[in-house]
Amino acid sequence: MSHIVVIGAGQAGQSLVTKLRDLGFDGDITLIGEEPVPPYQRPPLSKGYLLGEMALERLYLRPESFYAEHDIALRLGQKVAGIDPAAKTVTVGGEQVKYDQLALTTGSVPRSLPAAIGGDMEGVYAVRTLADVDAMEPEFREGRRVLIVGGGYIGLEAAAVASKKGLKVTLVEMAERILQRVAAPQTSDYFRAAHQGHGVTIREGIGLDRLLGDGHVTAARLSDGSELPVDFVLVGVGIAPATELAEAAGLAIENGIRVDAEGRSSDPAIWAAGDCASFPYKDKRIRLESVGNAIDQAECVAANMLGAGKPYEAKPWFWSDQYDLKLQIAGLNAGYDKVVEREGEAEGARSFWYYRGDQLLAVDAANDPRAYMVGKRLIEAGKSPAPDVVADPATDLKALLKA
């Protein structure tokens, strides 16, 4: 009987094994995860779960009983030591597990601060796993001082939670503005104002020189020479694809595990999906870090492992929750040369529409679900309304779908 092994028990891994069973695969399935808990949602970790608004069981994508009921062998708290593509085996828990096909859904790992500048001190945290958040939760007490390093979405979401819990929050971003890598200046301005309105101190164009303290962090020296007393530090300086196993197995790597349009790696028996995989998209190769991609790509790979031969057609979308603001993003804004802004119907609602020439690339919609929905459908349909039409408050957005 055929045996499919999946390494990585996150959103992509869970989606892949579930889809295999949904599609009628009746062979053996083994899902291996390093963490000692069943696959769970990551986005609520740094929001609802950290705020105490979401119980642990609600994080789980499926109850643990689901895997036994669907005859999926779940090996939790086990780190894979290596893959032998020639023998088609995975070494885990001191044994060799044979596979007929293997899927890597290993996700990504947070970038850390170098130990040379104090990154390994106590009181320095990353936001990635359930264990990370459980470890830092006792720090989130009213009046404590937190330094957040990094002004991307992870850092800003952490800043919002800390502010809501009554902490004194300072965020430093070494680039000239927050969200510089992922968003237009207009979106940066919108979220900067929101955070400053909640008492967060944002310092842009300022890097971290080093953390100070005797074992436990007590202060931070910034690149301008100033020193800031802190009780703890959160690091949100991006993530990197988890490719260590794939590299050691000799698979092709290109900003992640390089896969073809169907999700197959350079080894025909090994596939990859989710944060760890780079794949062809239009005229380039990309890697998407999102829940939507983890689900959609994993389900496509599951079908292809069973012979569907279907290319993955990514429909990029993302979201971020900060305070009472919900940012929804459709499309990819790389290469934009123009942004038009539109006010939404609700107070404070805004959307920012990215164009390259006359082509609509992406939409950032803050508390404006209508703009997001219309923008997403326009992009997927390859339609590009004129920028001045989008910016005109008299324009009925839904009518653009029929144009």
- First-to-last CA distance in the chain? 53
Look at residue 51 in the predicted model and tell me its pLDDT. Answer: 87
Cα separation, 248 vs 116, in Å, equals 27
Cα separation, 162 vs 178, in Å, equals 17
User: What number of other Cβ atoms are within 10 A of residue 84's Cβ?
Assistant: 11
- Dihedral sign, Cα of residue 389, residue 392, residue 394, residue 397: positive
The series of mean pLDDT values per 10 residues for the chain, 403 residues long, is 95 98 98 97 89 92 96 97 98 97 97 96 95 95 98 94 97 97 96 98 97 97 97 95 98 98 98 98 95 98 98 95 95 96 93 97 97 97 96 94 86
Ranges in the chain annotated CATH 3.50.50.60: 3-109+239-305, 112-235
Cα separation, 127 vs 129, in Å, equals 6
CB 387 within 8 A of CB 338: yes
Residue with tokens 């698979």: 251
Question: Pairing relation of β-strands 277-281 and 257-258?
Answer: parallel
CATH of domain 3-109+239-305: 3.50.50.60
Cα separation, 257 vs 12, in Å, equals 14
Ranges in the chain annotated CATH 3.30.390.30: 324-400
Q: Facing residues of 40 across strands?
A: 60
At residue 59, what are phi and psi to the nearest 5 degrees? -70, -30
Look at residue 16 in the predicted model and tell me its pLDDT. Answer: 98
Three-state SS for 327? strand
CATH of domain 112-235: 3.50.50.60
Q: Catalogue the E-assigned strands of 117-264.
A: 124-126, 145-149, 168-173, 201-204, 208-212, 219-222, 227-229, 232-235, 239-241, 257-258
pTM: 0.95
Look at residue 305 in the predicted model and tell me its pLDDT. Answer: 98
CATH of domain 324-400: 3.30.390.30
